Amino acid sequence: MTQNLNAVMLDPTAETQPEQRPLCDRPSTLQGLTVGLLDISKPRGNVFLDHLETLLSDQGAEVRRYVKPTFAKPAPVDLRHEIATSCHAVIEALAD
Amino acid sequence: MQARRIDVAALEDPVEALFDRGWTDGLPVVPPTEARVLRMLEGTTRSPQDVVAVVPPDLVECTVEKAAINAVMAGCLPEYFPVVLTALEAICTDQFNMHGVLATTMSVGPIFVINGPITERIGMNSGVNVLGHGNRANSTIGRAVQLIVRNLGGGAPGGIDRATLGHMGKQGFCFAEAPSAWTSLAQEEGFTAQQNTVTAFAGEGPRLLFDQQSRSPESLVRMLADGLRSTVSSRMVMGIDAMLVLSPEHLSRFIDAGWDRSRFLTELSELLIIDADDIIVGAHGIDEGIPTGFAGLQLPKFRPGGLLIVHAGGSAGLFSAIIGGWVNGNTGSDPVTKEIQL
């Protein structure tokens, strides 16, 4: 057996470990909860979210609507912070 | 060098070990040994711990050393490394929006056009099969950048990369522009012919534009316009850019008749005015289209500056190619040209 010339390699990754976050407990009721609906600014996403708003309101949730400036980029930090601090749950809508 | 060392057992195949860890793009990679990475670092004057860019989607700082490791894996030679570093810088900008280019379901990836004397010095191909395979520099520079996005940035297909179809150019799509009597893509961006540059463009795979019979520029420009109208979608105007790769024989039709780049673009743009009534929602029985509020208007297919012209390809063959782009402007991705720091 010849010596393995590739025996030691260098790590090509960021060498980071993602932080493990457990999922939140599923709410047993929507009564009195604030639910954010995030429109990603794609055509007809509002059609889906309008319908969800009706369904959620009927179940006693307070609905807040949010809009991303563009579907092509991550939501701005300020918007994410506002949703995280104002809502108990959030639904992000795709479209098309 | 500060990267973690990975010991491979004597009976383990290093190439397979790299596959097992998920660090390849589906093709074998060159094992990044210390000796190979040190040789790669000889290709730049930058310090190994310099931060080149913050790489999406995980927004990780990429050092010269980490870039070198991935460049080794891609199969680059050290003399390609400055091009890799600049290409990485170009896509890791707000202007290019690599996160969006990855996350979109559209079939786009970063495409790099290289201009300047470095193309000849490192043996890049701007001729026969220019948009294809077979040249080491063309094949590995774009691949190195894509491996960095995957391995360091965390942007792997099926993860943040959500392309419905994708295209094989996402393995690494890089080519050199051939010199011509017209100004180059980089010169149009304000650089000189002696400056070495990378232009990054978010694009789909190339599509052939066939015209073997036009002998006059007036005929050929009409045929090219005819093909360009359906770029990405015949129902889409102004919202996407495109790169037109003119082959030498097609370009000569214009140069021989005394047309410069500016005249060509003017004539082409006039032929690319679209009657909105033909592309609004519901027109000709098709539900896809622009809003009906545009009815009655005449609209340009491409926004001003939205059609990038590049000269490349083999000396024989009456074909050009169109590479469609992605959403442009502040809401999407704009092309980025940067000078290569040697």
* Closest residue on chain A to B54 (Cα): A14
Which pLDDT tens digit goes with each residue over B22-40?
999 999 999 999 999 999 9
Residues of B within 8 A of A94 (CB-CB) are: none
CA B125 to chain centre: 15
A5 within some domain: no
Residue B125 lies in a domain: yes
Mutate to test the interface with A, among B92, B326, B328, B330 (most CBs of A within 10 A): B330
Whether residue A29 lies inside any domain: the answer is no
B280 forms bridges with which residues in the sheet?
B290
Give the A:B interface size as CB pairs under 8 Å.
89
pLDDT in the model for residue A1: 45
Residue A17 placed within a domain: no
Residues facing residue B336 across a β-bridge: B200
In this structure, the number of other CB atoms found within 10 A of the CB of residue B107 comes to 18
Other beta carbons less than 10 A from residue B42's beta carbon:
11
pTM: 0.94
Residue A28 lies in a domain: no
Chain B positions in Cβ-Cβ contact with residue A4 (cut-off 8 Å): 8, 10, 12, 14
Looking at the structure of chain A, the number of domains it has is 1
* CA dist., res. B250 & res. B272, Å (int): 19
In-domain check, residue B205:
yes
Distances (CA, A) of B325 to B202, B243, B292: 6, 8, 24
Closest residue of chain B to A4, computed from CA coordinates: B10
Range of A76's domain? 34-93
Whether residue B70 lies inside any domain: the answer is yes
Give chain B positions within 8 Å (CB) of A9: 5-6, 8, 14, 17-18, 31-33
pLDDT band with cut points at 50, 70 and 90 for residue A4:
low
Specify if A88 maps to a domain.
yes
Sign of CA pseudo-dihedral B327, B332, B338, B342 = negative
Residues with Cβ < 8 Å from B302, sequence gap 6 or more?
Answer: B237, B238, B240, B241, B242, B269, B272
Residue pLDDT, tens place only, B48-86: 999 999 999 999 999 999 999 999 999 999 999 999 999
Indicate the length of chain B as a whole number: 342
- Beta-carbon separation of B69 and A14 below 8 A: no
Instruction: Tell me, yes or no, if B18 comes closer than 8 A to chain A by beta carbon.
Output: yes
Which residue range is the domain that position B245 belongs to? Answer: 14-339
Q: What is the least distance, in Å, from the CA of A69 to any CA of chain B? A: 8
Which residues have a Cβ under 8 Å from the Cβ of A10 and sit 6 or more positions away? B1, B3, B4, B5, B6, B32, B33, B34, B37, B65, B69
Mean pLDDT of all residues in B211-221:
97
Specify if A65 maps to a domain: yes
Whether the predicted pLDDT of B164 surpasses 60: yes
Structural domain count of chain B: 1
Nearest Cα residue in chain A from B144: A12
Cβ atoms of residues B335 and B241 within 8 Å: yes
Residue B7 lies in a domain: no
* Within a domain: B198: yes
Residue B257: its pLDDT value, please? 98
